[in-house]
Amino acid sequence: MRKKIVAGNWKMNLTFEEGQKLTTEIVNMYKDENIKDVTVVLNPPFVHLFSVKKLVGNTPNLFLGGQNCSDKASGAFTGETSATMLKSFGAEYVIIGHSERREYFKESNELLTAKVKQALENGLTPIFCCGEPLEIREAGTHEDYVKNQLTESLFGLSEEDFAKIVIAYEPIWAIGTGKTASSDQAQEMHKALRDHLASKYGQEAADNTSILYGGSCNPANAKDIFSKADVDGGLIGGASLKSRDFMDIINSF
């Protein structure tokens, strides 16, 4: 049975004090509400990793993740953060290929392959992002576009390594815009991606892969989206910065 996962992506937000406050609220609510069957991942900016991990401690099913990692193991790469560093801070997950990294920093599918391999070599679970911009959706070529992202970045992995991957589908046109893919649109795309994974790694491997939805998911629509057969949770942006909203999304299962 594949994992139900809700990952909070803080992006480039929150001061040290704000991060401490948010994490404390989430940890306390998580314990008070006795959540047991949902894996929750907090993905703060790198500067928060140590303090967030200290507050999260060994809380069951509550994990720390990075927002990105370098494709290099170490060396003279000023400003970069390696997968080894993330692991040493207690991270267990890392977001790779977020649409903002692809768009603003021109990260290619080839580069993302190298990042995935670095993550796996260091025992991190990649949350691999894929998704289409508005013009691709309107052209009706969105399924082929996103399938190609998976093919070029992930299909060189062994079956053993692929089994460690989490997929996050994020319709770029719905990120931070207030627009959201309908639950039926999300299900349609998630099903297409799962079928694509099955074509390479077999149906059992595809059925065991968690595919998250990321695109303006909030407490009002999460229950409907998460109810779909091929949606296994969410990669949450803005709503993850409000503890009550984030917990309500987690409780939407």
What positions carry a catalytic annotation?
98, 170
Whether the Cβ atoms of residue 93 and residue 61 lie closer than 8 Å to each other: no
Residue 79 annotated as part of some ligand binding site: no
Sign of the dihedral defined by the CA atoms of residues 60, 43, 94, 77, in that order: negative
Residue 8 annotated as part of some ligand binding site: no
Query: How far apart are the C-alpha atoms of 249 and 171, rounded to whole Å?
Result: 19
Residue 11 annotated as part of some ligand binding site: yes
Residue 19 annotated as part of some ligand binding site: no
Residue 57 annotated as part of some ligand binding site: no
Residue 237 annotated as part of some ligand binding site: yes
Residue 173 annotated as part of some ligand binding site: no
Q: Where are the alpha helices (DSSP H) in 108-242?
A: 109-121, 134-139, 142-154, 159-162, 183-201, 203-207, 222-226
Helix, strand, coil proportions of the chain in percent (round to 5)? 45, 15, 40
> Which residue do the tokens 């401490």 mark?
20
Q: Known binding site for substrate: residues?
A: 9-11, 176, 216, 237-238
Q: Summarize the annotated binding site as residue ranges.
A: 9-11, 176, 216, 237-238
